[in-house]
Amino acid sequence: MLPPETVAQIADELAEADRAHTVIPRITARYPDAAIEDSYAIQRVWRDRMLASGRRLVGRKIGLTSKAMQQATGISEPDYGVMFDDTVYENGSVIDSAQFSNVRIEVELAFVLKEPLEGPHCSLFDVLRATEYVTPALEILNSHIELEGRTIVDTISDNAAYGGMVTGGIPMRPDQIDLRWVSALLYRNETIEESGVAAAVLNHPATGVAWLANKMHHHGDRLEAGEIILAGSFTRPMWVSPGDSVLCDYGPMGTITCRFS
């Protein structure tokens, strides 16, 4: 385990990189013995400082839950991070790309909870019972650590590369649609760049939420009623630049649009 002062130092570096929209050297290059538990410790220190500054936690993101994402990043297991109220955008938003680093878009489903979820034995069926509705969502990736050679330790420390979320489309209860077969077409500037089906997320997107509840139990935490859970991308990340327009068509679940300035 990294000593507490090193954990705090790295959390400070990441907070400054977030503020300045810059990138820091890989943690694993400087601390090759850093483990996954160290990375979650760094993330928790960073999270607590953000909360102390007045930001409000509204949910969690799960990453690397599909083979497409694992192959795109070279990382072979899921991770998670936290989402704050000032990172959630409405459908049709114009988003300032300068506030992010290494900006990419992922296609996801978001679960809004009506009941708490807690491990260690949370199942897919527990998730479906606790979910008020599921809605289309795009995740904006925001990496503050150099991408080349990064490992899951680097990614988790950097709040699982979460930058923001755009919600839209048509919210539905879990019993209104077969969530495995939700599909999406992701456009950049009127051209389809990515497509996928939600079953690519651990065979069912609710499985990712169950994984998260069980993983958080090991860290003494749980998912609370009202939280928004991004269940993981079922496409590869799509790079975006200033001036790009983005549209994602979820078929029966509607569309999401946004533009980056």
CA 180 – CA 195 distance, rounded (Å): 14
Looking at residues 21-31, what average pLDDT do you find?
Answer: 94
Question: What burial letters (b/e) apply to 12-25, b meaning 16+ CB within 10 Å?
Answer: ebbbebbeeeeebe
Question: Residue 109 pLDDT > 80, yes or no?
Answer: yes
Residues contacting 194, CB < 8 A, separation 6+: 107, 186, 235, 236, 238
pLDDT interval class at 178 (50, 70, 90): very high
Question: Residue 103 pLDDT > 70, yes or no?
Answer: yes
Q: What is the distance in angstroms between the CA of the first residue and the CA of the last residue of the chain?
A: 41
Per-position DSSP letters for 109-151, written without gaps between them: EEEEESS-B--SS--HHHHHHHEEEEEEEEEEE---B--TT--
pLDDT interval class at 75 (50, 70, 90): low
Report CA Rg, the chain: 17
Peptide bond into 120 cis (omega under 30): yes
CA 107 – CA 260 distance, rounded (Å): 16
Interval 130-159: pLDDT, tens: 999 999 999 999 999 998 888 889 999 999
Question: Residue 69 pLDDT > 80, yes or no?
Answer: no
Interval 197-238: pLDDT, tens: 999 999 999 999 999 999 999 888 999 999 999 999 999 999
Strand pairing report for 162-167 and 131-141: antiparallel
CA 100 – CA 119 distance, rounded (Å): 33
In one-letter notation, the amino acid at residue 124 is L
Per-residue model confidence (pLDDT) at position 41: 95
Interval 29-45: pLDDT, tens: 999 999 989 999 999 99
